[in-house]
């Protein structure tokens, strides 16, 4: 493949991704905006704003503590220097049952007030408030809707907007009243008796009482809450939750009282037990988890090892092998070989740095993502499968554009040849996207919670590890001398290397089936057939009509791939193996009451995960040990985006799979097993329980 052909291939790759990125998104199920209480604001003053959610029927969003599942809105604010934005004030929620779970959240319209303070020395003409982030909205499925809101308030005399005063009154009416009362609890017969000295309420007028704790999992959320009135106040009988500890539990929260007067009066109160708990703000699970046990040097080393191992993955190995074939064809000689090695390394490292910048930018915008996140999109999976097909067909000789593929990045030291080596490095990184090498997880997890400069350093180490084998070959005359002379064997080798690429395409089609069902697989297979026919046609005829027809076929294939959407398939709903249950925090808590628990966080697109399952988890000795020790096996499938699994990964400093956790009975923290498993490693961990 000549430099012109290689650039065309890269343009095709990026065109496929651009087409997928431009695919229209489904209509959101929650719409958000900002409502300001003023029409202008004076420097030195503050004003109130409402973060308003309008939610579709039968869908709901979440309170600050979501209950058994879910997540509160996660909004990052961008405001002028000196301007400050307070945390949200949450209206009282409602109990939302979902199967055996109980969530806390909202239906229909939600008004969440917060305040904005303007400094006295503010010199701007307007105060611009911009918020970006995510609101999780759920019905039978959960969708993290990306949201963006903005308000511009002119600077001048402070003028209240009377037109929205009624809306602010509605918001204020749903805010719990903070009360300073005596509250206490005791444990009796495995029940929590919570006493809150509320203002006088006639017990015979109370229809129902709902209690919402700020701390997660201190009570069994779905259990009935039985209330009564005593001389000390309201008494609630509650079931203890997974995180309840009689010596340290904090049951501060919100009490909602429904009275049987007229059409019903609802009163809500916020109470604190001592000085221990302030209302929680928008804190994402896993934030602040310092991976001090990793450290920069260890992260650099693990990233380097992970990059080395990436070269052995079936996605990457053919590309590296083709580069080595180009060395054979070049007769091993000249200083230009070393420059080609550096050019290839530059393309690899630059591509990894670009990925790092993208990941960090998305995470800064509120996305909880990590390495491999792009493969949670069926659109991207479809496009990468197309790419692997194109490379495989090229290696088999079905089409040739501009010359032999053995000339990849080799033009006798010309600038075009060096550019070819750079673009080959970019291509190698693109095809490495579906691969997760051992040792990468901890390194990437460390990188994404550090300062940007540190994170970029770790990703650069990953790229250096991946580029090093080829660079060493270019700089080692002794190794170059051992390479065989050019001959017919190179054609055979090139064709042989096509099959790992085609196998990778087949694997991605299986991933697509897990994400979006068998119908999506058939659609993308049809698109692949159109691309194959278009490439064959171009190789048969260079006429304008043939080129136009081939272009239409490729565009049709891109359209088919861009139409794929993630949906819950039967394989995603049930256990991936007959003996594995589906992971959730509630399932984990229930299982831990019975005994030890092994959790396997995996994804269909994770090669390391599948190798571990085949070689270490699905073997008779390990299965027998699980049965003998009565260990519950749970599987967390991250093939599609799952905020609950993302939070669990972040809790242990990871941003991707695989992750293997072994919990002792009733333990709050798990033992983390290595990313590469053997039966011996698993059995030793089980023996250590």
Q: Match 């090892």 to its residue by tokens.
A: 305
How far is residue 516 CA from its own chain's centroid?
A: 18
Better pLDDT: 604 or 484: 604
pLDDT (0 to 100) of residue 210: 93
**Tens-digit pLDDT profile for residues 188-207:** 878 999 988 876 555 557 78
Q: Match 């904005």 to its residue by tokens.
A: 116
567 has a pLDDT exceeding 60: no
Task: Report the distance separating Cα 568 and Cα 280, nearest Å.
Answer: 32
Residues near 164 by beta carbon (within 8 Å), at least 6 away in sequence = 35, 36, 37
**Tens-digit pLDDT profile for residues 121-179:** 999 999 999 999 989 888 877 788 889 999 999 999 999 998 998 899 889 889 998 88
pLDDT (0 to 100) of residue 107: 94
User: What secondary structure does DSSP assign to 375-395, as a single string?
Assistant: GGSHHHHHHHHHHHHHHHHHH
Pairing relationship of beta strands 632-637 and 581-582 according to DSSP bridges: parallel
> Helix H segments across 104-192?
165-173
Better pLDDT: 24 or 9: 9
423 has a pLDDT exceeding 70: yes
The helix or strand, by DSSP H or E, that contains position 297, with its residue range, turns out to be helix 296-310
- Angle at the Cα of 89 (from 83 to 90), degrees rounded to 5? 145
> Could you tell me if 654 and 448 are in contact, meaning their C-beta atoms sit under 8 angstroms apart?
no
Q: Which residues of 256-270 are buried (b: 16+ CB within 10 A; e: fewer)?
A: bbebeeeeeeebbbb
The sign of the dihedral angle between the CA atoms of 315, 318, 320, 323 is: negative
pLDDT (0 to 100) of residue 565: 62
Nearest CA to 87 among 101, 97, 74? 74
**Among 21-35, 420-434, 526-540, 559-573, which range has the highest average pLDDT?**
526-540
Give this prediction's pTM.
0.44
User: Which pairs count as long-range contacts for 487-495, CB under 8 Å and 24+ apart, including other chains?
Assistant: 490/325, 490/328, 490/329, 490/406, 493/321, 493/325, 494/322, 494/325, 494/395, 494/397, 494/405, 494/406, 495/395, 495/396, 495/397
Nearest CA to 616 among 595, 600, 629? 600
Please list the residues that pair with 151 across neighbouring strands: 129
> Could you tell me if 30 and 59 are in contact, meaning their C-beta atoms sit under 8 angstroms apart?
yes
Structure tokens given for 527 = 């698109």
Task: Report the distance separating Cα 441 and Cα 653, nearest Å.
Answer: 9
Percent of the chain with pLDDT over 70: 76
119 — pLDDT class (breaks 50, 70, 90): very high
> Could you tell me if 286 and 647 are in contact, meaning their C-beta atoms sit under 8 angstroms apart?
yes
Nearest CA to 147 among 48, 64, 51? 51
């Amino acid at each position: 493949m000549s430099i012109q052909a290689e650039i065309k291939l890269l343009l095709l790759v990026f065109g496929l991704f651009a087409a997928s990125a431009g695919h229209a998104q489904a209509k959101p199920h929650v719409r958000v905006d900002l409502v300001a209480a003023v029409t202008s604001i004076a420097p030195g003053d503050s004003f109130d704003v409402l973060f308003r959610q309008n939610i579709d029927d039968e869908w709901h969003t979440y309170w600050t503590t979501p209950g058994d599942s879910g997540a509160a809105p996660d909004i990052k604010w961008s405001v002028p220097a000196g301007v400050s934005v307070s945390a949200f004030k949450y209206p009282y929620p409602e109990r939302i049952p979902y199967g055996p779970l109980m969530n806390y959240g909202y239906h229909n319209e939600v008004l969440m007030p917060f305040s904005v303070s303007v400094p006295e020395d503010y010199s701007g003409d307007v105060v611009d408030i911009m918020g970006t982030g995510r609101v999780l909205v759920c019905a039978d499925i959960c969708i993290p809707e990306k949201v963006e809101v903005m308000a511009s308030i002119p600077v001048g005399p402070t003028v209240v907007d009377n037109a929205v005063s009624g809306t602010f009154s509605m918001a204020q009416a749903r805010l719990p009243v903070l009360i300073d009362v005596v509250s206490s609890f005791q444990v009796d017969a495995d029940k929590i008796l919570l006493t809150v000295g509320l203002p006088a309420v006639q017990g015979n007028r109370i229809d129902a009482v709902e209690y919402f704790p700020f701390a997660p999992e201190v009570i069994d959320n779905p259990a009935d809450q039985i209330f009564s009135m005593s001389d000390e106040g309201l008494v609630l009988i509650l079931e203890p939750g997974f995180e309840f500890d009689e010596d340290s539990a904090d049951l501060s929260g919100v009490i909602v009282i429904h009275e049987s007067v007229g059409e019903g009066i609802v009163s809500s109160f916020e109470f604190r037990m001592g000085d221990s708990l302030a209302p929680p703000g928008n804190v994402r699970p896993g934030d602040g988890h310092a991976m001090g046990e990793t450290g920069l040097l260890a992260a650099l080393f693990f990233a380097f090892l992970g990059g080395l191992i990436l070269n052995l993955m079936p996605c990457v190995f053919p590309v590296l092998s083709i580069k080595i074939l180009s060395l054979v064809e070049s007769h091993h000689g000249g200083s230009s070989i070393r420059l080609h090695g550096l050019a290839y390394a530059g393309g690899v490292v630059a591509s990894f740095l670009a990925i790092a910048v993208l990941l960090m930018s998305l995470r800064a915008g509120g996305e909880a993502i990590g390495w491999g996140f792009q493969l949670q999109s069926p659109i991207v999976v479809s496009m990468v499968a197309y790419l692997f097909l194109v490379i495989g067909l090229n290696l088999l000789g079905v089409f040739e554009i501009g010359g032999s593929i053995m000339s990849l990045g080799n033009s006798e030291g010309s600038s075009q040849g060096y550019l070819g080596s750079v673009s080959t490095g970019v291509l190698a990184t693109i095809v490495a996207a579906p691969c997760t090498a051992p040792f990468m997880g901890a390194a990437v997890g460390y990188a994404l919670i550090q300062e940007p400069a540190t994170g970029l350093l770790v990703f650069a180490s990953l790229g250096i590890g991946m580029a090093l084998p080829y660079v060493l070959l270019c700089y080692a005359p002794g190794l170059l001398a051992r390479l065989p002379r050019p001959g017919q064997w190179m054609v055979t080798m090139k064709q042989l290397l096509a099959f790992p690429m085609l196998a990778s395409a087949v694997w991605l089609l299986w991933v697509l089936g897990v994400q979006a069902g068998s119908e999506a697989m058939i659609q993308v297979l049809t698109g692949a057939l159109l691309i194959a026919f278009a490439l064959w046609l171009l190789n048969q005829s260079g006429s304008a009509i043939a080129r136009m027809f081939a272009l239409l076929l490729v565009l049709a294939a891109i359209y088919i791939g861009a139409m794929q959407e993630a949906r819950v398939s039967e394989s995603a709903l049930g256990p991936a193996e007959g003996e594995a249950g589906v992971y959730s925090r509630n399932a984990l808590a229930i299982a831990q009451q019975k005994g030890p628990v092994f959790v396997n966080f995996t994804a269909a697109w994770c090669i390391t995960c599948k190798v571990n399952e085949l070689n270490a988890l699905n073997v008779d000795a390990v299965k027998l040990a699980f049965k003998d020790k009565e260990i519950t096996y749970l599987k967390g499938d991250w093939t599609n985006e799952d905020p609950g699994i993302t939070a669990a990964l972040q809790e242990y400093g990871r941003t991707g799979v695989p992750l293997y956790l072994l919990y002792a009975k009733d333990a709050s923290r798990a033992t983390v097993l290595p990313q590469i498993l053997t039966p011996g490693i698993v059995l030793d961990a089980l023996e250590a329980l």
